[in-house]
Chains A and B, each alone.
Chain A
Amino acid sequence: MNRAPLSPAAKRRWAIVYKVFQYTICILLALLSIFPFVIMIVNATRSSDQIQHHALSLIPSHYMMNNMKVLTTKTFHPIRGFFNSAIISVCATALCVYFSTLTAYSIVAYDWKFKKAFFTMIMCVLMIPAQVSSIGFYQFMYKIHLTNNFLPLILPVIAAPATVFFMRQYMIPALPMEIVQSARIDGAGEFRTFNQIVLPMCKPGMATQAIFIFVQKWNDLFLPMILLTEKNKWTMPMMVSQLSGDMYKTEYGAVYLGLLLTVLPIFVIYFMLSKYIIAGVALGGVKE
């Protein structure tokens, strides 16, 4: 690059223009992230009539309870959806984090014959998404009468390759084997050592994973949609998918309110834990 050197004044001016440009783009992108949700929240409080006349408004109205009535008299049951989703997400998260840590510990702490092969297999299935085997999964669950049951949505997370991989990466520097050795000398059983010494030491890593698994399970649509056909078993995202149906075609206010209700828990989690979530993403290996 053979450019003529700029005078100090020109350099300063250029730096200012560059900075203004950067901040403008960043602020526009930030607004782009918020804008849809602001409209959603405001319109959740407005009547369908108001929305039909002016869909874009930043002034909240007072029709929220009215929208709630419209929403819940049809197929949308936010409380039931909330509880169903919560049961699945909480159970799945607890099982996934516990057993993934246990599996990772078996790889890190012990020498066994097929360890390498086992780890290679984990790496291989890491990349293959569950959706491609969903037909066989559904047919199998149908045969053993587990459709319309939460178990097929919860139990499979015990074998979560991505979480095991993450916990292994986390454990190698964070868990000094000397401590495990000294616990052995003190006569603690292996299982007790894991539960009382290893688990507490891995807490930060487990917490990061827990957030992601919870959110992923909460947001999951594909598997619940094929497995749960009884309406009282529906999860939150399934309730949401009802909002695009004909039943709510002109009930704009109710649709926005329904959308708001489904993301409320996620918003709360996100704004409480955003620091950890972003640190977790930076550690990698958390993409779906």
Chain B
Amino acid sequence: MKASQKHLKGMSYARYGYLFALPFIIIFLIFTLYPTIYTFVLGFTDAHGVGNETNFLEAPFDNFRRILNNKTFMTSLRNTVVIWIMNFIPQITLAMVLTAWFTARRITVKGQGFFKVLFYMPNIITAATIAILFNALFGYPTGPINEILVSLHIRESGYNFFVNKSASQIIVAFIQFWIWYGSTMIVLISGVLGISPDIYEAADIDGANGFQTFFQITLPNLKTVLLYTLVTSLIGGLNMFDIPKLFNKGGPDNATLTTSVFIYDLAYTGKQLFARAAAASVLMFIIISVCSAFLFWLMRDKDAIELEKIKKADQKAKAKQRKEAAF
């Protein structure tokens, strides 16, 4: 009886665990791990073009040195961060404000479902389409936006947004903001709904007003969700490709050239400098990994401390029991 129970509970079923995880593991090794390692290796070679012989470099870190000294790469890295910040700060601010409104307990906003559907919509539309749509909307000399500017007498004639560096950067940042604020809002709202209603009731009894409740209860309890949003957005931002590539082809004068567009251009246009593009990818990989590691460190810290506390309390209780038993 005992033996058969043990059998049912799991131990001898372990092989099915391996078996069912096997497809994932095989595909992961072939299509994720191997290409990642291969990218690292290519960073130390002179791979370029199609059908050329590939050899290891005599100075192994030559590609990395060249990329780090490459003004265009540094520009693209700076652009990526600048565009990300210009998009993220308004995005998180607006998402927070909307979250506060949509979860407010006294003054409720009606038609929330409708607003959520519309705010989220841009996120699901093909980014390539959005980039080219905005390219058409900001058309010069006679795009829809220019027509609005002229008819409102803000400008005498059309403005060429595509030759102005800041204008192009701001538009790319705006598109990113427009795509993502709805999604961020929904994640934040679900975070707020996850906070225990007891805390809010207690605040109500204590006579806290809406602002006090938001800043002193909602915000501190939302820390983990905010952190998650921050890091996922940062990682996504560091890989920005479709919008900058198609809105203005990284221009004018490389103002909207992001690191992903830089790597793409290096590897798949002109001389096809795969080795150098691989080195740039490795550098981005390191930057992203550091960011992720930072997130995990922050997230795990809390849980681990919590667990440690429970363990200690448990041990204390056990020790106490033992003591009592000894008496």
* Residues of chain A at the chain B interface (Cβ within 8 Å): 1, 15, 18-19, 22-23, 26, 29-30, 32-34, 36-37, 39-40, 43, 52-56, 99-100, 102-103, 105-107, 109-113, 115, 118, 123-125, 127-140, 142, 152, 155-156, 158-159, 164, 181, 184-185, 190, 194, 215, 218-219, 221-222, 225-226, 236-238, 240-241, 243-244, 252, 255-256, 259, 262-263, 266-267, 269-270, 274-275, 277-278, 281-284, 287-288
Chain B residue with minimal CB distance to A39? B144
Number of B residues whose C-beta is below 8 Å from A? 106
B73 within 8 A of A: no
Complex Cα spacing A100 to B236, Å? 23
Interface residues of B in 196-218 (CB under 8 A from A): 209, 211-212
Complex Cα spacing A56 to B23, Å? 53
Given contacts A111-B11, A134-B281, A135-B263, contact A194 B133 (CB under 8 A): no
Partner of B129, one of A32, A52, A111, A263: A263
Find out whether the CB atom of A158 lies under 8 angstroms from the CB atom of B24: yes
Complex Cα spacing A128 to B40, Å? 15
Find out whether the CB atom of B125 lies under 8 angstroms from the CB atom of A283: no
Find out whether the CB atom of A237 lies under 8 angstroms from the CB atom of B128: yes
Find out whether the CB atom of A159 lies under 8 angstroms from the CB atom of B31: yes
Partner of B32, one of A133, A236, A238: A133
With both chains docked as a complex, state the minimum distance between the C-beta of B227 and any C-beta of chain A, in angstroms. 12
With both chains docked as a complex, state the minimum distance between the C-beta of B54 and any C-beta of chain A, in angstroms. 9
Chain A residue with minimal CB distance to B284? A132
With both chains docked as a complex, state the minimum distance between the C-beta of A43 and any C-beta of chain B, in angstroms. 8
Residues in B with CB closer than 8 Å to A159 are 23-25, 27-28, 31-32
Extra inter-chain contacts (11) besides given A132-B288, A136-B41, A270-B121, CB under 8 Å: A22-B101, A36-B133, A133-B285, A136-B36, A136-B38, A240-B132, A255-B132, A262-B128, A275-B113, A282-B187, A283-B190
Partner of A110, one of B17, B147, B187, B267: B17
Given contacts A110-B14, A128-B292, A244-B135, contact A55 B125 (CB under 8 A): no
In the complex, identify which listed stretch (B85-93, B238-246, B304-312) lies at the interface while the others stay far away: B238-246
Rank and list the top 3 A-B pairs by shortest CB-CB distance, nearest first. Answer: A110-B17, A136-B38, A136-B39
Chain B residue with minimal CB distance to A127? B292
Given contacts A22-B101, A125-B32, contact A99 B187 (CB under 8 A): no
Partner of A40, one of B36, B133, B233, B284: B133
Find out whether the CB atom of A30 lies under 8 angstroms from the CB atom of B115: yes
Q: Which of A37, A277, A278 counts the most chain B CB atoms within 10 A?
A: A278
Q: Which of A22, A26, A102, A135 counts the most chain B CB atoms within 10 A?
A: A135
Residues in A with CB closer than 8 Å to B40 are 136
B47 within 8 A of A: yes
Complex Cα spacing A34 to B119, Å? 9
Tell me the total A-B contact number using a CB cutoff of 8 A: 286
Find out whether the CB atom of A226 lies under 8 angstroms from the CB atom of B268: yes
Complex Cα spacing A100 to B31, Å? 16
With both chains docked as a complex, state the minimum distance between the C-beta of A98 and any C-beta of chain B, in angstroms. 9
Binary interface profile of B, 262-284, with partner A (CB < 8 Å = 1, else 0)?
A: 01100110000010011001101
Complex Cα spacing A53 to B143, Å? 10
Chain B residue with minimal CB distance to A128? B288
Complex Cα spacing A113 to B101, Å? 48
Residues in A with CB closer than 8 Å to B115 are 26, 29-30
CB pairs A–B below 8 angstroms (26 shown): A29-B119, A33-B121, A33-B122, A37-B133, A39-B137, A55-B146, A55-B147, A106-B21, A112-B15, A112-B18, A129-B236, A133-B281, A135-B281, A156-B32, A185-B8, A221-B241, A240-B128, A240-B132, A241-B128, A244-B132, A262-B126, A262-B128, A262-B129, A274-B120, A287-B187, A287-B233
Given contacts A26-B115, A164-B24, contact A277 B124 (CB under 8 A): yes
Find out whether the CB atom of A111 lies under 8 angstroms from the CB atom of B268: no
Interface residues of B in 5-36 (CB under 8 A from A): 8, 10-11, 13-21, 23-25, 27-28, 31-32, 34-36
With both chains docked as a complex, state the minimum distance between the C-beta of B118 and any C-beta of chain A, in angstroms. 4
Complex Cα spacing A38 to B116, Å? 18
Chain A residue with minimal CB distance to B295? A127
Chain A residue with minimal CB distance to B37? A136
Find out whether the CB atom of A15 lies under 8 angstroms from the CB atom of B267: no
Residues in A with CB closer than 8 Å to B298 are none
Interface residues of B in 92-132 (CB under 8 A from A): 98, 101, 107, 109, 111, 113-122, 124-132
Find out whether the CB atom of B133 lies under 8 angstroms from the CB atom of A259: yes
With both chains docked as a complex, state the minimum distance between the C-beta of A242 and any C-beta of chain B, in angstroms. 9
Find out whether the CB atom of B132 lies under 8 angstroms from the CB atom of A243: yes
Residues in B with CB closer than 8 Å to A36 are 130, 133-134, 137
